[in-house]
Copies of this chain bind each other. A is one copy, B any other.
Amino acid sequence: MTDRPANAHAHEIRVTWGDCDPARIAYTARLPWFALDAINAWWEEHLGDGWFQMEIDRNLGTPFVRLEMGFRAPVTPRHRLICHVWPSRLGETSISFRVDGEQDGKLCFSTHTTSVFITADKFAKQKPPQEIRDLIAPYLPTAAG
C-alpha cells in the first residue's frame, strides 16, 4: 500500500482454530476485533498505555464513531496475521486510524476507523491533551513531508 507510512506499527496476531468458521477461515466478525486489538496495541506501543489504562488512569476515552473494512482475502491460521496500524488523521477532537491486515505478505483486509476523544467519566467530547497530540504527530502520514 503506497499510503502506509514507514513507521506504522506491526501488531502480530496468532489466528487459531477457534477464530475460524466452518468455511475454515476466520469468521468475518472476528476481523473488526483483530483491527481494534491492533489499534489498542498502537497506543500501548507509543503511549505505554492501552485503552484500559487510558480510561482508568488518565480519564481519557476514545469511543469509535465510524468503522469501515474492506475484505480482500481470507484470514487463516496458516500464517501469523500482521496488522499494520497507524493514525491517518488527527482532528480537533477526533482521531482516525488505518489498519491493514496481512498474511504471508498479502493484504487480507484494510480498515479505516474514526474515534472521538472524551472525558471518560463524563462521556463528553474533549480535545486530547497536548501530550497526546505531540505523541501522535510524528506518526501521521503528513508528517513525512
Contact = CB atoms under 8 A, between A and B. Distances in A.
Interface residues of A, number: 41
Given A18-B29, A22-B23, 19 more contacts: A14-B41, A16-B37, A17-B21, A17-B22, A18-B40, A22-B56, A23-B63, A24-B52, A28-B36, A28-B63, A29-B32, A33-B33, A50-B77, A52-B77, A64-B71, A66-B68, A67-B67, A67-B68, A67-B69
Nearest to A113: B28
Interface of A: 14, 16-18, 20-24, 27-29, 32-33, 36-37, 40-41, 50-53, 55-56, 61, 63-72, 74, 76-78, 120, 123
Name the prevailing secondary structure of the A interface residues: mixed
